[in-house]
Structure 1
Amino acid sequence: MTSSNIPIATPTFGQLLRSPVLLLAFGFGSGLAKKAPGTFGTVAAIPLWYGLQFLSPVAYLAVIAVTFALGCYLCGAASKKLGVHDHGGIVWDEFVGYWLTMFMAPAGWLWALYGFVLFRIFDIAKPQPIGWADRRVHGGLGIMLDDILAGIYAALVLQGTAYLIHML
């Protein structure tokens, strides 16, 4: 809530710059997109993933674990600050979900695009148990959990596709 206890519908970019929590939760401003902020947030995660892909699997998973824990805090704190649970502009969860999708993905921009499409499909469609988690788990953990599950589903499909292509 704001100091006047009125929820902020959507913060301005200036408000993001004054609040590190909002700046990160809103994906460095990508969550301010008027339409499809989750998609824009996922797009913003791609250049950061490019650097992550060169890490060892253990280091990559450590980054996922740290950014997940940080995300639980950021998303929860941003929701409280805005007075809205899981505001559409909170996209840190999309960052981490996409990075999880791309864990040990084959190199190349086509795979990055494929992972993007898969992650968005699972994040939007919310097949079970993603939909259950989205409805039942609240706070920062709830905001993060459905995207983590979508990332796992997308990663399984991506890895299955890579395996099948390799077998051909």
Structure 2
Amino acid sequence: MRTACFWLVWRVARGAVVFSKGERRIKSPCVRAGSGHTCERHSVNQWWLGSPVAPGTAGSASALVFFPLVVSSAACGALLVVVTFALGLWAVARYLEDNPERHDPAEVVVDEVCGQTLVLTIPCILTQRGVFGVHLPSDALHQTIFLCSGLVCFRIFDVAKPWPVCIVDARVGGALGVMLDDIVAAIPASIVCLAMVNASFM
């Protein structure tokens, strides 16, 4: 399990380095207004590098592969969140240096990966700590409900940006703003998801 955890951290780190150096780029048919240069889609997440359809949702969905690791060790989940957040800050900052006109570029999905991983990690931490009698499902059906609910809840909070997500999005700029609003969105999304899953047991 530790080997798997370190492998995933290495993949995230490698993706951030590749992204920051601009070594892997996928051309998009769109053209920037007022220029003859084609847009280049980037993503720290190598599973969905340059996804042309719903990149934010694709990035969030790709984070679901972490669930077996997170549910077996919440500490590994927390480590993934911290490492992804730190590397995301570094990589996004470098991206924004080359694209200062972008506020929260849709093609950058490391923030969604980090936020979705946190959505999965919070219930696992509460379950393993025995907080408030929270428990995660062990059967495949309810685990699927948990994953789907977590994905939908996070995307709703991330896209709609209710309070306090909207405050962070409006007042915190740069790479920190790109990463932090997804972290803030992940907290209520995780709570709602957990409530939905526990209600399904009743």
Tell me which interval the TM-score lies in, with the shorter structure as reference length: 0.7 to 0.9
Q: Is the 8 A contact 2:145 2:197 kept in 1?
A: no
Is there any run of 5+ residues in structure 1 with no aligned partner, and where?
Answer: 1-5, 13-21
Task: Give the counterpart of 2:61 among 35, 39, 43.
Answer: 43
- Whole-angstrom distance in 1 between the partners of 2:99 and 2:68: 31
Deviation at 1:95, TM superposition (A): 0.2
Matching of residue 10 in structure 1 with residue 28 in structure 2: no
Q: CA RMSD in A?
A: 2.3
Matching of residue 162 in structure 1 with residue 197 in structure 2: yes
Task: Give the counterpart of 1:135 among 150, 158, 170.
Answer: 170
Is there any run of 5+ residues in structure 2 with no aligned partner, and where?
Answer: 1-34, 125-135
Q: Is the 8 A contact 2:149 2:196 kept in 1?
A: no
Aligned residues: 149
Task: Give the counterpart of 1:153 among 188, 192, 195.
Answer: 188
Deviation at 1:23, TM superposition (A): 4.5
Q: TM-score, normalised by structure 2?
A: 0.65
- Whole-angstrom distance in 1 between the partners of 2:103 and 2:47: 18
SS of match in other structure, 1:10: strand
**Structure 2 residue aligned with 1:30:** 48
Deviation at 1:68, TM superposition (A): 1.1
SS of match in other structure, 2:40: coil
Which digits, 9 at most, give the CA deviation of each residue in 1:125-160, with x for residues without a partner?
A: 101110111111011110001100111111111222
* Structure of greater Rg: 2
- Whole-angstrom distance in 1 between the partners of 2:166 and 2:191: 18
- Whole-angstrom distance in 2 between the partners of 1:165 and 1:69: 35
Matching of residue 95 in structure 1 with residue 130 in structure 2: no
Q: TM-score, normalised by structure 1?
A: 0.76
Matched letter for residue 194 of structure 2: Q
